[in-house]
Structure 1
């Protein structure tokens, strides 16, 4: 149930054989994101459970879910970009149904992230799911 944007990432990962290239790809996706407005970097948008500073600002318009995000760590900023590809544009009621762990496993990220980064990624997914579930 992945979005077209996420499927593009999966295809790109299949093309990139080396994990250093894949890390660079994720980091480049994060660099390409617009920065989060400083006014949105508040305790209510901060994600607990991440080793680095992470803020997620969800939006729901016409029952469609999207979010913006930011991190002070380049790889985490890239992971936010990957999650945006996975979730942005979905109907809000579909967001909690996404098997994020299964979809992200297609990229092999769990095998190549530190335990702290994996925990942070889970915390971001849980925040996204809970916001969407409350709105749905």
Structure 2
């Protein structure tokens, strides 16, 4: 699934209830989140729901570190937030660490019309998740 697929699917869904169900289904398709990763270090602060994100640097042997990517796992106890996590993973999939830092994920959510349909608490949680992913990528670039 790509961001273009999401955009095309959203264009086919007329009302926001259908779009919410679609986002929830994306979240249900995420792989199970290992209990061992439900740590305080992986917990995302600033979310009304319980959210955990685990990231790992993935590089190609012999390739420059700038080409490294971020492997992500995540979960939430709220269905819609789990779907937002899935959307974030789609947005960042295949991008290098540098590209992740430069990607305007919140702008992409706005272009999908999601920002205006999220509660202020969900919007703050989304911003916290984006900040966390960017922060992890930035730290990995500096290492």
TM-score (norm: length of structure 1): 0.94
1:16 aligns with 2:13: yes
Q: Which deviates the most, 59-68 or 4-13?
A: 4-13
The whole-number CA distance in structure 2 between the counterparts of 1:113 and 1:65 is 26
User: Secondary structure in 2 aligned to 1:82?
Assistant: helix
TM-score (norm: length of structure 2): 0.90
Mark the runs of 5 or more structure 2 residues left unpaired by the alignment. 60-67
Specify the alignment match of 1:40 in structure 2: 37
Specify the alignment match of 2:51 in structure 1: 54
The size of the alignment, in residue pairs, is: 133
1:109 aligns with 2:91: no
Q: Which runs of 4+ in 1 moved over 6 A?
A: none
Residues 1-136 of structure 1 correspond to what in structure 2 (within 5 A)?
5-62=2-59, 63-136=68-141
Mark the runs of 5 or more structure 1 residues left unpaired by the alignment. none
> Which structure is larger by alpha-carbon Rg, 1 or 2?
2
